[in-house]
Amino acid sequence: MDFRDISPYPDQEVNAQIKKLINNKLFFQQLAKFLFPISSKLLPGFFEIFIRGKFKTSFQFADTVKEFQSSLAPYVKKMIDKTTDGFTFSGEENLSSDASIYIGNHRDIALDAAFLNYLLYEQKKETLRIAIGDNLLDGSFAEILMRLNKSFVVHRDIHGIKETLKRLTKLSTYIDHSLFNDNESIWIAQKEGRANDGNDFSDVAVLKMLYLCKRKELSFCEWIKKINFIPVSISYEYDPLDVTKARGWDHHEEMSLEEINESVLQELATGLFRDKGRVHLHICDPIEYDGDDIEELSRLIEQEILANYKIWPTSHIAAKALSNTDPSIDFFDENKIKLLQESKFLNRFNGLEENVRKECLETYVRPMINGKKARGDL
């Protein structure tokens, strides 16, 4: 089967794609706007030339995906140093040398898998192939960057039963081929789209898609024994897009496709370049399951992700603020709240409509509630 339309770029295409980026003026205009928002207005063109020179020096001689990612790693580290108050991880003993499916919660367009890939790179392990929605792939520089970084395409909003089955079967076959022919691990979200409301719930449709290409060859039990599922739970102290997510995307109905793509790109950049506070990534124990109930397996994965989600003081602050009007939210820990941090966190929601402010706070509280339920504490 020909996977070229959904797969990452093979090594032989890497340098040509990098040259496309080097010659893409819009790419450097956007980077200048994101990295130097004020200065680039005062000195138009200067920072574009500066960034292009740095990019060319770093990447122009990369001929393979591994070389591209090695050149990218220092910039990922710089992003972590500049936009977080520390990146920590746990469960690294569960990182597998065998091709596995890392199935995680999804909070940020690009960063969830990027943090895991950076950890793998630092641990001298092979990085993974990353599932991304086709809404991010419009032939622009964002698509080139993502496919250079081992991203593959998950089609969304497919119309018609036959077309849906065809595309999902191809995706399922590609993932199976990655695992058992290419010996490449996969990162995929536990459900389609980000958990914009803070609920890191799994969708059984993801597992059904993964099993699709083998359903006529193997029973579900037999297939599960072949697959190494490793749940991954990532948490950000601050979500740079918390207000955007609380407001929702109803306004997209009035926007052109070009405007929507620009909006998605803006969100991608906001996640990358804005403050995230502390970030923690937990690699859960591989799933051991002998049953034949696909929904039960989905629940097990969800439970691992929820139970191992790192709770930050921001969640306790949000719970305390909500408890003023909802006495049932009484599970915050005052000892985890510092006055300065409480003020800083709540100030980010000043001036918002009350319903948006409430949704922002609830988004930070829901992982506490879900984690307690997953651990049997609530």
pLDDT value at position 322?
96
Which amino acid, residue 104?
G
The CATH number corresponding to 11-307 among 1.10.1740, 1.10.3470, 3.40.1130, 3.40.630 equals 3.40.1130
User: Could you give the percent of the chain with pLDDT greater than 90?
Assistant: 78
Which range among 33-37, 266-270, 330-334 shows the weakest confidence by mean pLDDT?
Answer: 33-37
Q: What gap in Å lies between CA 205 and CA 288, rounded to an integer?
A: 20
Residue written as tokens 């906001």? 270
**Is the pLDDT reported for residue 256 higher than 90?**
no
Nearest to 281 by CA among 315, 230, 228, 317: 230
Structure confidence at residue 281 as a pLDDT band (50, 70, 90)? very high
Spell out the domain ranges in the chain.
11-307, 313-375
Cβ–Cβ < 8 Å for 117, 198: no
Mean pLDDT of 128-150: 86
Structure confidence at residue 141 as a pLDDT band (50, 70, 90)? confident
Q: pLDDT averaged over the chain?
A: 92
**Is the pLDDT reported for residue 154 higher than 70?**
yes
pLDDT value at position 95?
96
Cβ–Cβ < 8 Å for 9, 17: yes
For 204-252, the pLDDT digits (tens) are 999 999 999 999 999 999 999 999 999 999 999 999 999 999 999 877 6
pLDDT value at position 14?
98
Structure tokens at 159: 């119309």
pLDDT value at position 376?
85
Mean pLDDT of 289-297: 95
Query: How many C-beta atoms surround the C-beta of residue 377 within 10 A?
Result: 9
